[in-house]
Amino acid sequence: MNSLTGLYSAATALRNTLFDRGILKSRRLRRPVISVGNLSVGGSGKTPFVIAIGELLKTRGIKFDVLSRGYGRETRGVLLVDPKGEASEFGDEPLLIARRLGVPVVVGENRYDAGRVAEEKFESQLHILDDGFQHRSLARDFDIVLLSQSDLDDDLLPSGRLREPLSSLQRADAIAVQDNPAKEFSNKLTIKAGGAQGKFIWRMERDFAAPEAPREPIVFCGIARPQQFFAHVRGAGLIPAAELTFGDHHRYTRADVERLMKMRDKHSAGGFLTTEKDAINLGSWRDRLQPLAVASLNLRLDRPDDIIDAILARIANRKPQS
Protein backbone atom coordinates (compact mmCIF):
# COMPACT_ATOMS: atom_id res chain seq x y z
CA MET A 1 0.00 0.00 0.00
CA ASN A 2 1.53 3.32 -1.04
CA SER A 3 1.34 6.44 1.13
CA LEU A 4 -1.54 8.06 -0.79
CA THR A 5 -3.60 4.88 -0.61
CA GLY A 6 -2.85 4.70 3.11
CA LEU A 7 -4.09 8.25 3.61
CA TYR A 8 -7.21 7.53 1.57
CA SER A 9 -7.84 4.38 3.58
CA ALA A 10 -7.49 6.24 6.88
CA ALA A 11 -9.82 9.05 5.74
CA THR A 12 -12.43 6.57 4.50
CA ALA A 13 -12.29 4.56 7.73
CA LEU A 14 -12.63 7.73 9.84
CA ARG A 15 -15.63 8.97 7.87
CA ASN A 16 -17.41 5.62 8.15
CA THR A 17 -16.68 5.44 11.86
CA LEU A 18 -18.17 8.90 12.40
CA PHE A 19 -21.35 7.83 10.63
CA ASP A 20 -21.46 4.47 12.43
CA ARG A 21 -21.23 6.21 15.82
CA GLY A 22 -23.79 8.85 14.92
CA ILE A 23 -21.34 11.75 15.12
CA LEU A 24 -22.04 12.47 11.47
CA LYS A 25 -25.79 12.33 10.95
CA SER A 26 -27.85 10.68 8.23
CA ARG A 27 -31.10 12.48 7.45
CA ARG A 28 -34.18 10.43 6.69
CA LEU A 29 -36.83 11.17 4.07
CA ARG A 30 -40.52 10.52 4.69
CA ARG A 31 -40.61 7.72 2.14
CA PRO A 32 -38.36 4.64 1.98
CA VAL A 33 -35.04 4.78 0.13
CA ILE A 34 -33.52 1.90 -1.84
CA SER A 35 -29.86 2.57 -2.54
CA VAL A 36 -27.99 1.09 -5.51
CA GLY A 37 -24.23 1.50 -5.35
CA ASN A 38 -20.86 -0.20 -5.56
CA LEU A 39 -17.37 -0.22 -4.09
CA SER A 40 -15.37 0.67 -7.19
CA VAL A 41 -15.09 3.65 -9.50
CA GLY A 42 -17.42 3.36 -12.49
CA GLY A 43 -18.36 0.56 -14.82
CA SER A 44 -20.19 -1.80 -12.46
CA GLY A 45 -23.60 -1.52 -14.13
CA LYS A 46 -25.36 0.71 -11.58
CA THR A 47 -27.47 2.48 -14.21
CA PRO A 48 -28.70 -0.75 -15.87
CA PHE A 49 -29.40 -2.14 -12.39
CA VAL A 50 -31.47 0.91 -11.42
CA ILE A 51 -33.41 0.47 -14.64
CA ALA A 52 -33.89 -3.26 -14.00
CA ILE A 53 -35.16 -2.70 -10.44
CA GLY A 54 -37.35 0.13 -11.66
CA GLU A 55 -38.96 -2.04 -14.32
CA LEU A 56 -39.71 -4.72 -11.72
CA LEU A 57 -41.31 -2.15 -9.41
CA LYS A 58 -43.44 -0.89 -12.28
CA THR A 59 -44.80 -4.39 -12.90
CA ARG A 60 -46.01 -4.35 -9.27
CA GLY A 61 -47.72 -1.00 -9.78
CA ILE A 62 -45.39 0.70 -7.28
CA LYS A 63 -44.81 4.41 -7.84
CA PHE A 64 -41.25 5.57 -7.34
CA ASP A 65 -38.75 8.24 -8.30
CA VAL A 66 -34.98 8.20 -8.74
CA LEU A 67 -32.53 10.48 -6.92
CA SER A 68 -29.14 11.10 -8.50
CA ARG A 69 -26.19 13.42 -8.16
CA GLY A 70 -26.23 14.22 -11.87
CA TYR A 71 -22.51 13.67 -12.40
CA GLY A 72 -20.98 15.73 -15.21
CA ARG A 73 -23.80 18.27 -15.55
CA GLU A 74 -23.02 21.96 -15.94
CA THR A 75 -25.93 23.09 -13.76
CA ARG A 76 -26.23 23.32 -9.98
CA GLY A 77 -28.91 22.69 -7.38
CA VAL A 78 -31.94 20.43 -7.45
CA LEU A 79 -33.53 19.85 -10.85
CA LEU A 80 -36.20 17.58 -12.26
CA VAL A 81 -34.79 15.79 -15.29
CA ASP A 82 -36.52 16.59 -18.56
CA PRO A 83 -36.25 13.44 -20.74
CA LYS A 84 -36.01 15.70 -23.77
CA GLY A 85 -33.17 17.70 -22.25
CA GLU A 86 -29.41 17.53 -22.64
CA ALA A 87 -26.67 15.77 -20.71
CA SER A 88 -25.13 19.15 -19.90
CA GLU A 89 -28.27 20.01 -17.91
CA PHE A 90 -28.82 16.80 -15.97
CA GLY A 91 -25.95 14.37 -16.56
CA ASP A 92 -25.96 11.49 -19.04
CA GLU A 93 -26.98 8.67 -16.68
CA PRO A 94 -29.96 10.44 -15.05
CA LEU A 95 -31.15 11.37 -18.52
CA LEU A 96 -30.85 7.75 -19.67
CA ILE A 97 -32.77 6.55 -16.59
CA ALA A 98 -35.54 9.10 -17.16
CA ARG A 99 -35.90 8.08 -20.81
CA ARG A 100 -35.86 4.36 -20.14
CA LEU A 101 -38.13 4.27 -17.07
CA GLY A 102 -40.44 7.21 -17.69
CA VAL A 103 -40.52 8.10 -13.97
CA PRO A 104 -39.47 11.27 -12.15
CA VAL A 105 -35.68 11.59 -11.84
CA VAL A 106 -34.41 14.37 -9.58
CA VAL A 107 -30.75 15.42 -9.54
CA GLY A 108 -28.97 17.32 -6.82
CA GLU A 109 -25.59 17.47 -5.14
CA ASN A 110 -27.46 16.90 -1.89
CA ARG A 111 -29.67 13.86 -2.36
CA TYR A 112 -31.71 14.67 0.77
CA ASP A 113 -32.71 18.00 -0.77
CA ALA A 114 -33.49 16.22 -4.04
CA GLY A 115 -35.66 13.75 -2.14
CA ARG A 116 -37.55 16.54 -0.36
CA VAL A 117 -38.34 18.14 -3.72
CA ALA A 118 -39.49 14.78 -5.08
CA GLU A 119 -41.77 14.27 -2.08
CA GLU A 120 -43.31 17.71 -2.55
CA LYS A 121 -43.99 17.18 -6.26
CA PHE A 122 -44.81 13.49 -6.67
CA GLU A 123 -46.83 10.76 -5.01
CA SER A 124 -44.02 8.22 -5.08
CA GLN A 125 -44.17 5.34 -2.63
CA LEU A 126 -40.39 5.08 -2.47
CA HIS A 127 -37.12 6.50 -3.80
CA ILE A 128 -34.31 4.74 -5.65
CA LEU A 129 -30.98 6.33 -4.76
CA ASP A 130 -28.57 6.05 -7.70
CA ASP A 131 -24.89 5.51 -6.81
CA GLY A 132 -25.75 5.91 -3.15
CA PHE A 133 -23.54 3.54 -1.14
CA GLN A 134 -21.02 6.24 -0.20
CA HIS A 135 -23.67 8.98 0.17
CA ARG A 136 -24.26 8.22 3.84
CA SER A 137 -25.70 11.62 4.70
CA LEU A 138 -29.01 10.28 3.35
CA ALA A 139 -30.48 7.40 5.37
CA ARG A 140 -31.51 4.40 3.34
CA ASP A 141 -33.80 1.48 4.12
CA PHE A 142 -32.27 -1.10 1.77
CA ASP A 143 -28.68 -1.00 0.53
CA ILE A 144 -27.75 -2.90 -2.64
CA VAL A 145 -24.08 -3.14 -3.63
CA LEU A 146 -22.98 -4.34 -7.07
CA LEU A 147 -19.80 -6.38 -6.92
CA SER A 148 -17.57 -7.69 -9.71
CA GLN A 149 -14.97 -10.42 -9.51
CA SER A 150 -12.22 -7.87 -10.13
CA ASP A 151 -13.29 -5.98 -6.99
CA LEU A 152 -12.16 -8.89 -4.82
CA ASP A 153 -8.53 -8.47 -5.88
CA ASP A 154 -8.45 -4.69 -6.25
CA ASP A 155 -6.92 -2.00 -4.05
CA LEU A 156 -8.22 1.27 -2.67
CA LEU A 157 -7.80 4.51 -4.59
CA PRO A 158 -5.48 5.76 -5.93
CA SER A 159 -3.57 2.47 -6.29
CA GLY A 160 -6.71 0.67 -7.43
CA ARG A 161 -10.35 1.41 -8.23
CA LEU A 162 -12.00 0.74 -4.87
CA ARG A 163 -13.69 3.65 -3.12
CA GLU A 164 -14.13 1.58 0.03
CA PRO A 165 -12.63 -1.65 1.37
CA LEU A 166 -14.49 -4.94 1.06
CA SER A 167 -15.25 -4.82 4.77
CA SER A 168 -17.75 -2.03 3.99
CA LEU A 169 -20.05 -4.71 2.61
CA GLN A 170 -21.12 -5.15 6.22
CA ARG A 171 -23.44 -2.16 5.63
CA ALA A 172 -25.13 -3.79 2.64
CA ASP A 173 -28.45 -5.61 2.73
CA ALA A 174 -27.84 -7.31 -0.61
CA ILE A 175 -24.83 -7.98 -2.84
CA ALA A 176 -25.49 -8.30 -6.57
CA VAL A 177 -22.93 -10.26 -8.59
CA GLN A 178 -22.69 -10.85 -12.31
CA ASP A 179 -22.88 -13.94 -14.46
CA ASN A 180 -23.25 -16.75 -11.90
CA PRO A 181 -19.82 -16.54 -10.31
CA ALA A 182 -17.92 -19.74 -9.70
CA LYS A 183 -17.60 -21.37 -6.30
CA GLU A 184 -14.12 -19.91 -5.79
CA PHE A 185 -15.61 -16.43 -6.20
CA SER A 186 -18.11 -17.11 -3.41
CA ASN A 187 -15.37 -18.52 -1.20
CA LYS A 188 -13.14 -15.52 -1.82
CA LEU A 189 -16.05 -13.18 -1.06
CA THR A 190 -16.61 -14.91 2.27
CA ILE A 191 -12.92 -14.81 3.18
CA LYS A 192 -12.15 -11.25 2.06
CA ALA A 193 -15.43 -9.64 3.08
CA GLY A 194 -16.48 -11.13 6.37
CA GLY A 195 -19.58 -8.96 6.34
CA ALA A 196 -21.01 -10.91 3.41
CA GLN A 197 -22.43 -13.65 5.63
CA GLY A 198 -26.16 -13.33 6.11
CA LYS A 199 -26.58 -10.95 3.18
CA PHE A 200 -28.81 -11.55 0.20
CA ILE A 201 -26.61 -12.64 -2.72
CA TRP A 202 -28.34 -11.84 -6.00
CA ARG A 203 -27.15 -12.94 -9.42
CA MET A 204 -27.59 -11.03 -12.63
CA GLU A 205 -26.70 -11.54 -16.27
CA ARG A 206 -26.05 -9.00 -18.98
CA ASP A 207 -28.15 -9.00 -22.13
CA PHE A 208 -26.36 -7.12 -24.92
CA ALA A 209 -28.16 -6.10 -28.09
CA ALA A 210 -27.01 -4.09 -31.09
CA PRO A 211 -30.01 -3.96 -33.43
CA GLU A 212 -29.39 -2.94 -37.02
CA ALA A 213 -25.65 -2.64 -36.48
CA PRO A 214 -23.95 -1.69 -39.77
CA ARG A 215 -21.38 -3.85 -41.50
CA GLU A 216 -17.91 -3.60 -39.90
CA PRO A 217 -18.71 -0.47 -37.90
CA ILE A 218 -16.47 2.02 -36.19
CA VAL A 219 -17.15 1.10 -32.56
CA PHE A 220 -16.61 3.93 -30.07
CA CYS A 221 -17.52 4.77 -26.50
CA GLY A 222 -16.77 7.05 -23.56
CA ILE A 223 -17.51 4.82 -20.57
CA ALA A 224 -15.59 3.67 -17.49
CA ARG A 225 -14.68 0.21 -18.81
CA PRO A 226 -14.62 0.37 -22.61
CA GLN A 227 -13.05 -3.05 -23.05
CA GLN A 228 -16.20 -4.63 -21.64
CA PHE A 229 -18.25 -2.93 -24.34
CA PHE A 230 -15.85 -3.97 -27.09
CA ALA A 231 -15.94 -7.56 -25.80
CA HIS A 232 -19.75 -7.54 -25.91
CA VAL A 233 -19.64 -6.28 -29.49
CA ARG A 234 -17.31 -9.06 -30.61
CA GLY A 235 -19.28 -11.58 -28.57
CA ALA A 236 -22.38 -10.62 -30.55
CA GLY A 237 -20.58 -11.67 -33.73
CA LEU A 238 -19.83 -8.16 -34.96
CA ILE A 239 -16.46 -7.35 -36.51
CA PRO A 240 -15.37 -3.76 -35.79
CA ALA A 241 -13.52 -1.92 -38.51
CA ALA A 242 -11.86 0.03 -35.70
CA GLU A 243 -12.36 0.80 -32.00
CA LEU A 244 -12.04 4.22 -30.42
CA THR A 245 -12.14 5.12 -26.72
CA PHE A 246 -12.98 8.45 -25.10
CA GLY A 247 -13.00 9.39 -21.41
CA ASP A 248 -15.91 8.38 -19.21
CA HIS A 249 -18.94 10.71 -19.60
CA HIS A 250 -17.23 12.34 -22.61
CA ARG A 251 -19.24 15.16 -24.17
CA TYR A 252 -18.70 14.95 -27.94
CA THR A 253 -17.56 17.89 -30.04
CA ARG A 254 -17.34 18.76 -33.72
CA ALA A 255 -13.69 17.66 -33.72
CA ASP A 256 -14.64 14.25 -32.27
CA VAL A 257 -17.31 13.73 -34.93
CA GLU A 258 -14.94 14.73 -37.73
CA ARG A 259 -12.35 12.31 -36.35
CA LEU A 260 -14.89 9.49 -36.36
CA MET A 261 -15.97 10.27 -39.91
CA LYS A 262 -12.36 10.22 -41.08
CA MET A 263 -11.91 6.83 -39.44
CA ARG A 264 -15.02 5.55 -41.24
CA ASP A 265 -13.61 6.66 -44.60
CA LYS A 266 -10.13 5.32 -43.85
CA HIS A 267 -11.38 1.85 -42.89
CA SER A 268 -14.28 1.73 -45.37
CA ALA A 269 -16.56 1.06 -42.42
CA GLY A 270 -20.27 0.52 -42.87
CA GLY A 271 -21.19 3.02 -40.14
CA PHE A 272 -20.94 3.47 -36.39
CA LEU A 273 -21.86 1.64 -33.22
CA THR A 274 -21.90 3.10 -29.70
CA THR A 275 -23.60 2.86 -26.29
CA GLU A 276 -26.83 4.44 -25.07
CA LYS A 277 -24.88 6.76 -22.78
CA ASP A 278 -22.67 7.91 -25.66
CA ALA A 279 -25.70 8.48 -27.87
CA ILE A 280 -26.96 10.90 -25.21
CA ASN A 281 -23.58 12.64 -25.01
CA LEU A 282 -23.47 13.05 -28.78
CA GLY A 283 -26.43 15.42 -28.57
CA SER A 284 -27.19 17.04 -31.91
CA TRP A 285 -23.95 15.66 -33.39
CA ARG A 286 -25.64 12.26 -33.53
CA ASP A 287 -27.28 13.18 -36.85
CA ARG A 288 -23.85 13.54 -38.49
CA LEU A 289 -22.84 9.94 -37.76
CA GLN A 290 -24.98 7.86 -40.04
CA PRO A 291 -25.77 5.06 -40.09
CA LEU A 292 -25.41 4.91 -36.31
CA ALA A 293 -26.53 1.92 -34.25
CA VAL A 294 -26.99 2.25 -30.48
CA ALA A 295 -26.29 -0.85 -28.44
CA SER A 296 -28.29 -1.55 -25.30
CA LEU A 297 -27.23 -3.37 -22.15
CA ASN A 298 -29.93 -4.79 -19.91
CA LEU A 299 -29.51 -6.71 -16.68
CA ARG A 300 -31.53 -9.85 -16.15
CA LEU A 301 -31.95 -10.64 -12.45
CA ASP A 302 -32.22 -14.20 -11.18
CA ARG A 303 -35.47 -14.83 -9.23
CA PRO A 304 -36.72 -11.24 -9.71
CA ASP A 305 -39.94 -11.74 -7.72
CA ASP A 306 -37.97 -12.87 -4.69
CA ILE A 307 -35.77 -9.78 -4.99
CA ILE A 308 -38.69 -7.36 -4.97
CA ASP A 309 -40.38 -9.29 -2.16
CA ALA A 310 -37.20 -9.05 -0.05
CA ILE A 311 -36.92 -5.29 -0.59
CA LEU A 312 -40.57 -4.61 0.17
CA ALA A 313 -40.50 -6.77 3.28
CA ARG A 314 -37.48 -4.91 4.63
CA ILE A 315 -38.77 -1.39 3.96
CA ALA A 316 -42.13 -2.29 5.51
CA ASN A 317 -40.28 -2.33 8.83
CA ARG A 318 -38.47 0.97 8.27
CA LYS A 319 -37.82 3.39 11.09
CA PRO A 320 -40.18 6.35 11.25
CA GLN A 321 -38.86 9.73 10.15
CA SER A 322 -37.09 11.47 13.02
Judgement on whether residues 231 and 178 belong to the same structural domain of the protein: no
Mean pLDDT by 10 residues, the chain (322 residues): 86 95 96 96 89 98 98 96 97 97 98 98 97 96 92 92 93 86 67 70 93 96 95 97 97 98 98 98 96 96 96 84 56
Angle at 91 between CA 88 and CA 94, to 5 degrees: 140
Give the residue numbers spanning the domain of 126. 3-205+301-315
Q: Residue 140 to residues 68, 100, 126, 237, 295: CA-CA distances in angstroms?
A: 14, 24, 11, 42, 33
The total of structural domains in the chain comes to 2
Tell whether 170 is covered by a domain. Answer: yes
Q: Which pLDDT score is estimated for 44?
A: 81
We report the CATH number of the domain holding residue 12 as 3.40.50.300
Same domain for 286 and 163, yes or no, is no
The pLDDT, as a whole number, for residue 16 is 95
* pLDDT (0 to 100) of residue 21: 95
The answer to whether residue 181 is domain-embedded is yes
User: Do residues 238 and 117 share a domain?
Assistant: no
Who's near 218: CB < 8 A, 6+ residues apart?
A: 240, 241, 242, 243, 244, 260, 263, 264, 267, 269, 271, 272, 273
pLDDT of residue 181: 63
Model's pTM, two decimal places?
0.93
Is 152 in the same domain as 247?
A: no
Both 190 and 226 in one domain: the answer is no
Identify whether residues 168 and 136 lie together within a single domain. yes
Q: Is 286 in the same domain as 267?
A: yes
Look at residue 295 and tell me if it is in a domain: no
Residue 259 and residue 305 in one domain:
no
